[in-house]
């Protein structure tokens, strides 16, 4: 008996280990599908109800999922894969992690606890003076509406001063994440984050930098004009004619999008459309705003949202508890249980954001039929760019079609003012979209030491955005931590790509819709042909390299800035004329 077992044992071990690729992928797919749902439910509750307990429960759920995903990532390296599909799945299993678990279980738990705490701290941060506290939403309103530099500065500083204590936690998560990355065979977390794009990490960086050089001339013109206008309004003592723009003057807490200061500029307009006013006049509430967004997608031939979407989403800010208000879209069970979470205000910015979030939701619904490992965008920039490309179709003509704008309203179609407003949103964003991860890549690789976190942040903001700190910031402040995606470890170069890709998508979809006029005047509303094209791309999920998905949609395999430059060409000409004689740059 003993003999037989000792004879069989090595064979048993071999057969226990010798899973075929197919068996391995099946196990990974099923396990990750199940475990992700579990983690998502915990995270949903924490985001909707921030307490010490939900923070802890999410950390534990996250530790479990991270450990399992990291184990599959490691194991995936043992297999080569026979078919293209198998190879693709192995690639995704290895490269899909954001924070890989360190080998040591205790370290993994420490990492996910700190991670959860950072997110909860962000969600519940407030600025209190004499017992009266203001949350982010209220401080953002001040940045948007006030035109008094002292009030703006107060709100800006009040928010940013919250994150000094996050710095140590952040630093420790970076150390632990780097450990996880090394345990998995990567150089560091920066290497992990840049490894998701179907090309080498060096080529990815080169691509991103190339795209920036392609759009920079347009950004510089916009910056130059806006700075001139701000200088006229506030004077040399607040904003200089030649230097970077202080970050509190651009209508947004992070100076990342500038449409809120549209009124400070003197762009001639045949008729400026104020969507906020239209929404107020027509008494749109949050539900009606989301419904209007849904109807846009349905007009393209896409499905109606499942009933549970409205039942389970969070659309309004609760009065009595802390929630993470930063807008997000959720794919809870990777089937039909899709949701969004937003603290919607009846204004233009949120109306646009709703279309962005619904883009995520429709992407989920389209690829949830695929094996779980493929339940993702072609790359994360596609996921972010999809709903944004729909935003480009919210033209004045469209607003008339849905009767938000009266049909006898004398809008002369998209004029310079329309383009200018879009540029304040889309072009102004580009350098910010780029620099957030430039900063993190340097932090992760150790090029930036913890003592230099804040100074290197402001160095990059000056360099890329031409924006500066409105007041001296000491090295122990942690201003990057005042941005949601830093506090919650969401990669950001995806938004930079999205701001290039959405114009490529828009151009291709407009072609499909048979529209031949200027890109800015095109709305694909109601076009089943455009809808088919969009659906076909979304239904690929992550099953093919993103270049294939881009080719299917646009006929081209590269991201390029010709579409965004074409879209804004009339504005660029106008800006160059306005800026004549000015010393642009900073
Ligand atoms: O975070 C978002 C979305 C959710 S995925 C609202 N965005 C970035 C940001 O707010 O910083 C959209 C634009 C950039
Ligand atoms: Zn998004």
328 lines ligand 1 (CB under 6 A): yes
Of 93-97, 208-212, 277-281, 403-407, the one with minimum mean pLDDT is 403-407
Q: Please report which confidence band the pLDDT of residue 8 belongs to, taking 50, 70 and 90 as the band edges.
A: low
Angle between helices 493-512 and 546-554 (to 10 degrees): 30
Closest CA to 244 of 222, 224, 215, 261: 224
Average pLDDT, stretch 138-161? 98
Q: pLDDT value at position 272?
A: 72
At 487 the three-state DSSP class reads helix
Kindly give the distance from the C-alpha atom of residue 530 to the centroid of ligand 2, in angstroms, as a whole number.
21
User: Which residues make Cβ contacts (< 8 Å) with residue 389, sequence separation at least 6?
Assistant: 359, 501, 502, 503, 505, 506, 509
User: Which residues make Cβ contacts (< 8 Å) with residue 539, sequence separation at least 6?
Assistant: 366, 367, 369, 370
> Which residue is closest in CA terms to ligand 1's atom 2?
327
Across 126-159, b (16+ Cβ under 10 Å) vs e yields ebeeeeeebbbeebbebbbebeebeebbbbbbbb
Catalytic residues: 357, 485
pTM for this predicted structure = 0.96
Q: pLDDT value at position 271?
A: 59
> Which residue is closest in CA terms to ligand 1's atom 6?
327
Measured CA to CA, the distance from residue 259 to residue 265 in angstroms comes to 10
DSSP result, 66-119 = HHHHHHHHHHHTT---SSHHHHHHHHHHHH--SSPPPSSHHHHHHHHHHHHHHH
Across 380-409, b (16+ Cβ under 10 Å) vs e yields bbbbbbbbbbbbbbbbbbbbbeeebbeeee
> Which residue is closest in CA terms to ligand 1's atom 14?
495
Tell me the H-state helices in 18-51: 21-48
Top pLDDT among 83 and 7 is at 83
Kindly give the distance from the C-alpha atom of residue 477 to the centroid of ligand 1, in angstroms, as a whole number.
24
pLDDT at 253 over 80: yes
User: Which residues make Cβ contacts (< 8 Å) with residue 172, sequence separation at least 6?
Assistant: 110, 111, 114
**Is there a contact between 405 and 396 (Cβ–Cβ < 8 Å)?**
yes
Enumerate the domain spans of the chain: 21-134, 202-405+412-578
Measured CA to CA, the distance from residue 331 to residue 340 in angstroms comes to 9
Pairing of strands 126-129, 132-135: antiparallel
> Which residue is closest in CA terms to ligand 1's atom 3?
327
Angle between helices 201-234 and 569-578 (to 10 degrees): 50
Measured CA to CA, the distance from residue 15 to residue 57 in angstroms comes to 37
The residue whose CB lies within 8 Å of the most ligand 1 atoms, and thus the one to mutate among 258, 342, 351, 353, is: 353
**Is there a contact between 172 and 114 (Cβ–Cβ < 8 Å)?**
yes
Nearest ligand to residue 496 Cα:
1
Q: pLDDT value at position 16?
A: 55
Provide, rounded to the nearest whole percent, the portion of the chain with pLDDT above 70. Answer: 95
Q: Please report which confidence band the pLDDT of residue 472 belongs to, taking 50, 70 and 90 as the band edges.
A: very high
Q: Please report which confidence band the pLDDT of residue 6 belongs to, taking 50, 70 and 90 as the band edges.
A: low
Average pLDDT, stretch 449-476? 98
Q: pLDDT value at position 270?
A: 52
Kindly give the distance from the C-alpha atom of residue 580 to the centroid of ligand 1, in angstroms, as a whole number.
34
Q: Which long-range contacts (CB under 8 A, 24 or more apart) does 310-314 make?
A: 312/337, 312/339, 313/339, 313/340, 313/341, 314/48, 314/339, 314/340, 314/341, 314/342, 314/343
pLDDT at 50 over 60: yes
Kindly give the distance from the C-alpha atom of residue 433 to the centroid of ligand 1, in angstroms, as a whole number.
10
Q: pLDDT value at position 414?
A: 56
**H/E stretch holding 420:** helix 416-426
495 lines ligand 1 (CB under 6 A): yes
**Is there a contact between 46 and 58 (Cβ–Cβ < 8 Å)?**
yes
327 lines ligand 1 (CB under 6 A): yes
353 lines ligand 1 (CB under 6 A): yes
Q: Tens of pLDDT along 219-234?
A: 999 999 999 999 999 9
Tell me the H-state helices in 235-347: 275-281, 286-299, 307-312
Top pLDDT among 346 and 413 is at 346
**Is there a contact between 509 and 530 (Cβ–Cβ < 8 Å)?**
yes
Q: Tens of pLDDT along 172-199?
A: 999 999 999 999 999 999 999 999 999 9
pLDDT at 364 over 60: yes
**Average model confidence (pLDDT) across the chain:** 95
pLDDT at 490 over 90: yes
pLDDT at 351 over 70: yes
pLDDT at 14 over 90: no
Residue 153 zone, left/alpha/beta (φ > 0; ψ -120 to 50; rest): alpha
């Amino acid at each position: 008996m003993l003999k037989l077992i000792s004879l069989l044992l090595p064979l048993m071990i071999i057969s226990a280990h010798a899973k075929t690729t197919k068996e391995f992928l099946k196990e990974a797919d099923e396990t990750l599908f199940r475990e992700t749902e579990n983690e998502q439910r915990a995270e949903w509750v924490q985001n909707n109800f921030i307490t010490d307990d939900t923070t802890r429960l999410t950390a534990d759920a996250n530790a479990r999922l991270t450990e399992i995903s990291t184990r599959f990532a490691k194991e995936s390296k043992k297999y080569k894969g026979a078919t293209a599909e198998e190879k693709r799945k192995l690639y995704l299993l290895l490269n899909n992690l954001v924070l890989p678990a360190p080998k040591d279980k205790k370290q993994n738990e420490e990492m996910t606890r700190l991670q959860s705490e950072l997110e909860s701290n962000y969600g519940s941060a407030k600025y209190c003076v004499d017992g009266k506290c203001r949350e982010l939403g209220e401080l953002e309103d001040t940045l948007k509406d006030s035109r008094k530099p002292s009030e703006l500065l107060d709100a800006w500083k009040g928010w940013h001063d919250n994150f000094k204590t996050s710095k140590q936690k952040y630093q420790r998560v970076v150390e632990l994440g780097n450990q996880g990355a090394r345990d998995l065979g990567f150089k560091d977390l920066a290497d992990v984050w840049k490894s998701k794009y179907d090309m080498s990490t060096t080529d990815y960086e080169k691509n991103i930098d190339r795209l920036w050089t392609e759009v920079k001339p347009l950004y510089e013109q916009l910056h130059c004009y806006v700075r001139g206008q701000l200088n006229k309004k506030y004077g040399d003592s607040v904003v200089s004619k030649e230097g970077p723009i202080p970050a509190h003057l651009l209508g947004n807490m992070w100076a990342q999008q500038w449409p809120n200061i549209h009124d400070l500029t003197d762009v001639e307009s045949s008729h400026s459309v104020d969507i906020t006013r239209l929404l107020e006049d027509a008494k749109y509430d949050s539900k009606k705003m989301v419904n209007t967004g849904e109807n846009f997608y349905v007009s393209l031939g896409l499905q109606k949202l499942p009933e549970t979407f409205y039942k389970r989403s969070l659309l309004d800010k609760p009065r009595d508890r802390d929630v993470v208000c930063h807008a997000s879209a959720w794919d809870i069970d990777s089937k039909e249980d899709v949701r969004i979470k937003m603290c919607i205000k009846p204004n233009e910015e949120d109306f646009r954001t709703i279309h962005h979030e619904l883009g995520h939701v429709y992407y989920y619904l389209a690829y949830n039929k695929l094996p779980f490992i493929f339940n993702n965008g072609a790359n994360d920039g596609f996921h972010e760019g999809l709903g944004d490309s729909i935003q480009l179709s919210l033209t004045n003509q469209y607003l008339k079609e849905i009767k938000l704008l009266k049909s006898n309203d004398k809008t002369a179609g998209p004029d310079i003012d329309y383009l200018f407003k879009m540029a304040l949103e889309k072009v102004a964003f580009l350098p910010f979209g780029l620099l957030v991860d430039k900063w993190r890549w340097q932090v992760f690789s150790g090029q930036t030491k913890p003592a230099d976190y804040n100074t290197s942040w402001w160095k990059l903001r000056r360099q890329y955005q031409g924006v500066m700190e409105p007041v001296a910031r000491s090295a122990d402040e942690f201003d990057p931590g005042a941005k949601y995606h830093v506090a919650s470890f969401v990669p950001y170069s995806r938004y930079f790509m999205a701001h290039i890709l959405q114009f490529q998508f828009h151009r291709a979809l407009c072609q499909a819709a048979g529209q031949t006029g200027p890109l800015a005047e095109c709305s694909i509303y109601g076009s089943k042909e455009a809808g088919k094209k969009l659906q076909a791309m979304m239904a690929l999920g992550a099953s093919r390299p993103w270049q294939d998905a881009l080719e299917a949609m646009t006929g081209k395999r590269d991201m390029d800035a010709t579409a965004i430059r074409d879209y804004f060409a009339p504005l660029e000409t106008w800006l160059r004329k306005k800026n004549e004689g000015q010393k642009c740059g900073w």
